[in-house]
A and B are shown apart, each in its own frame.
Chain A
Amino acid sequence: MREIAPVLEVEDLCVSYGKVEALHHANLMVGAGQIVTVIGPNGAGKTTMLSAVMGLLPCSRGQIRFQGQLRSAAEVEEMVALGANLVPESRALFGEMSVEDNLLLGAFTRYRSGDRDSAGTMEEVFRIFPRLKERRTQHAGTLSGGERQMLALARALMAKPKLLMLDEPSLGLAPLIVKDIFRVIASLKDTGVAILLVEQNARAALQVADYAYVLETGEIALEGPSRQLIDDPKVVESYLGLGGRH
C-alpha cells in the first residue's frame, strides 16, 4: 500500500512546550501525490505536529525528512524554499492588504529564487477559486470566513508547493462551504501536490484522504488506509458517531 516515494517522513518526533511534552514519538509518512490526514480531538497535538514539521517549533527529539533530505536546522523560510507550505489554523492572512497582494506574497519565495511568473500562477489559482478573482482588489480583512479560507489556500498554492499542510481548513465554516473546500482539496490531488490534512471533522477528512492517522493526547493511536478507518468500530464510535465532533 505504502510504497509510493515519500515526500515527508516524520520519525520518532517529540515536541515540548517548556517541560510539558505535547507530542510523543510520532511517526508519519506522506507519499507523493497522496492526501494523508491526521484526525483527533481538540488538544491532541495536531497543530503542534504541523508547527514542528514546518520549523515553527523546535523538536526535542526525532527526525524530519523532506523529499528524502534530512532537515537539520529547522527554519521556516528554508522549508518554504524547499517546497513545503502550511496554512495555519488562524489562516494568518494580511488583513489590510488586497486579495491580489496576499496572493503575490504567496509567491515571494519563488520570486526571490528568480521565478517571476506570478501573474500566470495567479490566473491558475483564480480558475480554482473564481470568487477570489471577483474580490481581487478587496482587503483580505473584509472577506467572509469561507472566502478567507479559500484565500489562505490560494495563497499557499501560489508557492507551487510540493507538500501542502492544512490545519483544520473546515474550522468555523458553514457546512455548505466546508463541502466546497473539501471538493477543492480533493481536486488538488490531480495537480500532484502531496497534502497533509489535519482535521477534527473526521468524516469529511477520511472521505478525501488516502491514508489516515488518529492522534490522541500527543500519541498516534491508530493508522491505516482511510477506507479501513472509516469502518473501524473504534473510529466510528469516537469520531464518526452521532456524538462525534463535526
Chain B
Amino acid sequence: MNIEIALLLGQDGLTNGAIYALLSVALVLVFAVTRVIYIPQGEFVAFGALTLASFQVGKTPGTLWLLIGAGVVVALVDLSSALRSGQRRHIPRIVGWNLAYPAVVAGVIHLFTPAELPLLAQIVLSLALVVPLGPMTYRLAYQPLAEASVLVLLIVSVAVHLALVGLGLLFFGAEGSRTPAFSEGSLSVGSLTVSGQTLWVLGASLTLIVVLALFFERTIYGKALRATAMNRTGARLMGISTVMAGKLSFLLASLIGALSGILIAPITTIYYDTGFLIGLKGFVGAIVGALSSYPLAAAGALLVGLLEAFSSFWASAFKEVIVFTLIIPVLVWLSLTTRHVEEEE
C-alpha cells in the first residue's frame, strides 16, 4: 500500500464513518431516553434516500401512503384515548399533526412537480415526508409498551424493522437507486482528490453534530431529553412527559437517519434493505460508546468506517466480518469494567 491508496481509503473510511457516527449518536439518544434499541433506524436511511430518488424520477414515493396511513391510525388511537379520558383540548393537535399535516404534504407533492424542483426543495420535501414517520412509529409500536423490559422493546424493534423492510420492498421495488451528487467538481490537495460529495457528507455531518450538541447543552428541550435519560421519574415530576421525550427523540433519530440516507445516496447505491447494514455499523459504534456516551459512540463509528475501508483493501471478502468482530473485544471490555446497571431505578 502506498500513501496515495492510504489517503484514498482514509477518505472513504471517514466519509462512511461520518454517516455511521450520525447514526450511532441517534441510537444512543433513543436508547438513553426510551431504552429502545432502535434497529429500524436503518430503514429511515433507506426511506430518505429512496424517497428522494423517487421524486427525482418523477414517481410518487410509496412512503407518502405510509405517512397518510400511519397518520390515520395514530389519529384514531389518540382520539379514542383523548375522548375516553375527556381531554378534548388535545383534539386539534391530534388532528393537525396526524391528518392535516400528511394531507398538506400530499397536496404539495400533487401541486408541484417534485422532479422539476431544485435539489434543496426535493430534499426538504423528502425529509418532511419521512421524518414524521419516526414519532408515529414510537406512538404505535413503543409507547404502549413504555414500561416493558429492554428485551421486549428489542423484540418489538426487530418486528418493526422487518415490517418496514417489507414495506420498503413494496414501495420501491428490488432495484437500487443512486441520486446525482449535490454538486459537481472535486477538490485536489497535492496528489489527493476529494470528491464534492465527500465534502458534503463530512460538512453536513459535522454541522449536524455541532447543532445536536448545542441542542442538548443549550436548549431547555435538549436538557429535558437528557433529564429523562438520567432520571425518568425526576423528569416526570418536572412535568417532562415521557411520551413527549420519546417522540422528540424518535423525531431526531428519524431526521438523522433520513438525512444520512440522502447524503450517501450519491456515493452508494441504496436498495430497500441497504439501511439495515448501515444502521448495524452505526450500532457497533454506539456499542463502543456503551450506548451512553455520545463522543465515544461517534469515535467508535469513525473507527468502524476506517476499519471497513482498510479491510476492504487488505481482505475485502472479510470486510464485514472484521467490522462486526470489533464488537467482541468491546463487549468483553465493557462487561469487565462496568458494574451491572439495574434496569430503571
Expressed in whole angstroms, the Cα–Cα distance for A111 and B239 within the complex equals 11
Number of interface residues of A (CB under 8 A): 28
Judge whether A76 and B86 touch: CB under 8 Å: no
| Identity of the chain B residue whose Cβ is nearest the Cβ of A98 in the assembled complex | B223
Q: In the complex, are the beta carbons of B227 and A105 less than 8 A apart?
A: yes
Partner of A109 from B86, B223, B231, B238 at Cβ < 8 Å: B238
- A sample of 5 inter-chain contacts (CB < 8 A) reads A54-B237, A104-B220, A105-B223, A105-B227, A106-B238
Question: A residues near B, CB below 8 A?
Answer: 54, 56, 72-73, 76-77, 80-81, 85-86, 88, 90, 92-97, 101, 104-106, 108-109, 111-112, 155, 159
Is the CB–CB distance between B230 and A97 below 8 Å? yes
Residue of B nearest to A86 (CB): B237
Contact assessment for B239 and A77 in the assembled complex, using a CB-CB cutoff below 8 Å: yes
Given the known A-B contacts A93-B231, A97-B226, A97-B230, are A108 and B87 also in contact in the complex, defined by CB atoms under 8 Å?
no
Please name the residue on chain A nearest to B244 by beta carbon.
Answer: A77
Contact A105 B238 (CB under 8 A): yes
A105 contact from B85, B87, B220, Cβ within 8 A: B220
B237-A80 in contact (CB<8A): yes
Question: Are A109 and B239 closer than 8 Å at their CB atoms?
Answer: yes
B226-240 to A contact mask, C-beta < 8 Å, 1/0:
110011011111111
Identify B227's interface contact among A54, A80, A97, A112, CB under 8 A: A97
B contacts with A, residue count (CB < 8 A): 20
Chain B, range 18-41, C-beta contacts under 8 Å to A? none
Docked-complex contact B238 and A72, CB < 8 angstroms? no
Instruction: Specify which chain B residues have a CB less than 8 angstroms from the CB of A56 in the assembled complex.
Output: 233, 236
Of the residues B226, B231, B233, B239, contact of A112 by C-beta under 8 Å? B239
B241 at the binding interface (Cβ < 8 Å): yes
Contacts of B220 in A (CB 8 A): 104-105, 108, 111
Contact of B224 with A by CB under 8 A: yes
| B32 nearest CB across to chain A (Å) | 11
Q: Which 5 A-B pairs have the closest CB atoms?
A: A92-B234, A109-B239, A80-B239, A73-B85, A77-B241
Count A-B contacts at CB 8 Å.
70
Q: Report A113 CB to chain B, min CB distance, Å.
A: 9
Q: Which of B85, B226, B237 has the most CB of A within 10 A?
A: B237
Contacts of B240 on A, CB cut-off 8 Å? 77, 105, 108
The B interface, classified by DSSP as helix, strand, loop or mixed, is helix
Cβ–Cβ < 8 Å partners of B231 in chain A: 92-95
Which residue, of A92, A93, A104, has the highest number of chain B Cβ atoms within 10 A? A92
Nearest to A74 among chain B residues (CB) is B85
Name the distance in Å between A56's Cβ and chain B's nearest Cβ. 7
**Chain A residues positioned under 8 Å from B226 (CB to CB):** 94, 96-97
Contacts A93-B231, A94-B230 given: A101-B223 contact, CB under 8 Å?
yes
Closest Cβ–Cβ distance, residue B84 to chain A (whole Å): 9
Q: With A and B bound together, what is the CA distance between A109 and B239 in angstroms?
A: 6
Per-residue interface assignment for chain B, residues 139 to 183, with 1 indicating a CB less than 8 Å from any chain A CB and 0 otherwise: 000000000000000000000000000000000000000000000
Of residues 76 through 116 on chain B, the ones whose CB sits less than 8 Å from some CB of chain A are 85-87
Cα distance A76–B242 in the bound complex, in angstroms: 10
Residues of B close to A86: CB separation below 8 A: 237
- CB A6 to nearest CB in B, in angstroms, measures 23
> A104–B227 Cα gap in the complex (Å)?
11
How far does the Cβ of B28 sit from chain A's closest Cβ, in whole Å? 14
For B81, the closest partner residue in chain A by CB is A73
Q: Within 8 Å CB of B235, what residues of A?
A: 94, 105
Query: Once bound together, how far apart are the Cα atoms of A96 and B293, in whole Å?
Result: 12
Does the CB pair A81–B239 fall under 8 Å?
Answer: yes
Give residues 300-316 of B contacting A (CB, 8 Å).
Answer: none
A159 touches B238 (CB 8 A): yes
Min C-beta distance of A52 to chain B, whole Å:
14
A73–B88 CA distance with the chains assembled, in angstroms: 13
- The one of B86, B233, B234, B241 in contact with A72, judged by C-beta atoms closer than 8 angstroms, is B86
Q: How many Å lie between the Cα of A76 and that of B85 in the bound state?
A: 14
A155 contacts across to B, CB distance below 8 A? 238
Chain B neighbourhood of A94, CB < 8 A: 226-227, 230-231, 234-235
Q: Which residue of B lies closest to A109 (CB)?
A: B239
Nearest neighbor of B345 in chain A, beta-carbon distance: A90
Query: Contact between A73 and B224 (Cβ–Cβ < 8 Å)?
Result: no
| Cβ A92 vs Cβ B237 within 8 A | yes
